[in-house]
Structure 1
Amino acid sequence: MTSISSQLVLHPTVSQSIKLGSTTLGRDKLYRAVQYFARFLAWFFLSRGNKEQAARWNALKSHLALGRKLMRLGKPMEHLQAALRALQVYSAQETGEQITTIGRQLAYFGYLTYDAIVWANAVKFITLKPDTAQKVNKTSNRFWLAGILLSITHGLLKAGRLANEAKKLRSKSGEKDIGTEADRELKQRTLDLARSVTRHQFIIDILDVWIPAANLGLVNFNDGVLGIFGFITSVMALRQQWHIAAKK
């Protein structure tokens, strides 16, 4: 019995889950997945007239959203630092990518800064007038939308550059003076990995962009659709963090 318990408790999957949960980013992605699934379920039950179940899931969604805002209080500075680092690295070939990276990081800095004010007002640490609170929330969503749109633009630019580099590499595969075949294969694998990461982020951005757009009234998607979109992107990001935790 002790042996079975040890095998369960010390199982590599359990250990990896602990590693994932020990990181702020890992917990945030897990909470986000539950939050958006709860949003979907709240809509699902409400659409079928089950107000009691809808209220339960809606309360869970709201509390998780508020808790995630608390976890992100120091994050604006991370994005500001990332913007400054991107500003210091110049590459003529990647000027468009650099500009969109800086713009994206600054947009996320603005989004999370205003989001912190939304949290402070929600927990009654500060008191904003209803119209002021609405303006702050709208500004936060505008920054969020801008950040995702810049991320999409960055992804398109990077995907185009990587595709051109892969094409050039394939065109030189028959030449004998470009290095060893092993060298070329290593470069090809690196490019393939970079393209895969870029596509992964692009899919996340394409789905996530509708959430702030809906919050701003630019599109008319219901909570069920937005909940599923948010859940899918959360699981995608969580899987990425899972693989990172496995390497540690």
Structure 2
Amino acid sequence: MASVAQQVVFHPTVSQTLKLWSTTVGRDKTYRAVQYFARLLAWLLLSRGQKIEAARWNAIKNHLALGRKLMRLGKPWEHLQNAMRAAQRIDLPATETITTMGRQVAYFGYLTNDMFVWANNIKFYNLKPSTAARVNKHANRFWLAGILLSITFGLLKAGRLANEAKQLQSSVWSEKGAEVERETKLRANLAARAETRFQFIVDLLDVWIPATNLGLVTLNDGIVGMFGFVSSLMTLRQQWLAVNGKK
């Protein structure tokens, strides 16, 4: 019995999961996955008339959303630093630099407004209902702008990487060392394109969340919950691979 318990407690998957949850990103993405799954499940239960069960999952969704806001309190400055770093880069085309800076500034605006939303929700700083609604709307506008700029950046980068790959494949390399260099560059290009496609898909799923919050589209909580859940699982898996040295 002790041997079985030891095998369960020290199973590699358990150890890898604990390693994932030891990171802030790992915990946040796990909470986000549960949050949007709860949103989806609450909608399904409510559509079947199971109001009491739906209320339970709605409570989980709301509490996780509030907890995640607390975890992001210092994150606006991280995005501001990223914007300044992007401005100093000289190895990227101007269009990619501009969209990167714009995306980071937009996320700074989103998370800064989100801090006031959190402070109002926990009654630390009381806002008038009209002011709270306006701040929340500003947060969603910045969030939407950040995702749209991320999508634009992804399209620009994907086009540039595709052209670079085409040039590398069509070039004639006579020396053996140069051929090895080309293969190395092609592998790096392929990895960069895969990473860009991954983020592009995540952005296409997430863009509907702030768009729905702003009333620009009319998607129900089930669809929004499903999109958020899938994108959360994708980013959670990426973090799992990064933390456990499988990427």
* 1:135-214 matched pairs, under 5 angstroms: 135-172=134-171, 174-177=172-175, 179-214=177-212
Q: Taking structure 1 as reference, are residues 56 and 182 closer, same or farther at Cα in structure 2, changes over 3 Å only?
A: same
Deviations 1:11-36 (Å, cap 9, x if unpaired)? Answer: 22211111110111110000000000
Equivalent in the alignment of 1:123: 122
Q: Distance in 2 between matches of 1:171 and 1:6?
A: 57
Q: Distance in 2 between matches of 1:139 and 1:79?
A: 17
Equivalent in the alignment of 2:13: 13
Consecutive unaligned residues of structure 2, counting only runs of 5 or more, are none
Q: Distance in 1 between matches of 2:52 and 2:5?
A: 39
- Find the residue that maps to 2:53 and give its secondary structure: helix
Deviations 1:147-195 (Å, cap 9, x if unpaired)? Answer: 00000000000000000000001001x4314844332221111111000
Once the two structures are TM-superposed, the CA of residue 95 in structure 1 deviates from its matched residue by 1.1
Equivalent in the alignment of 1:77: 77
Q: Distance in 1 between matches of 2:9 and 2:29?
A: 23
Equivalent in the alignment of 1:133: 132
The answer to whether the 8 Å contact 2:77/2:108 transfers is yes
Q: Give the aligned residue type for 2:135.
A: V
- Find the residue that maps to 1:247 and give its secondary structure: coil
TM-score computed with the length of structure 2 as normaliser:
0.96
Q: Taking structure 1 as reference, are residues 214 and 178 closer, same or farther at Cα in structure 2, changes over 3 Å only?
A: farther
Equivalent in the alignment of 2:29: 29
The answer to whether the 8 Å contact 2:173/2:179 transfers is no
Q: Give the aligned residue type for 2:126.
A: T
TM-score computed with the length of structure 1 as normaliser:
0.96
Q: Give the aligned residue type for 1:76.
A: P
Equivalent in the alignment of 2:87: 87
Deviations 1:52-111 (Å, cap 9, x if unpaired)? Answer: 1110110100000000000000100100110011111123x5211110000000000000
Count of aligned pairs: 246
Q: Distance in 2 between matches of 1:48 and 1:41?
A: 11
Q: Distance in 1 between matches of 2:8 and 2:181?
A: 43
Instruction: Tell me the C-alpha RMSD between the 2 structures.
Output: 1.3
Q: Does 1:113 align with 2:117?
A: no
Q: Does 1:63 align with 2:63?
A: yes
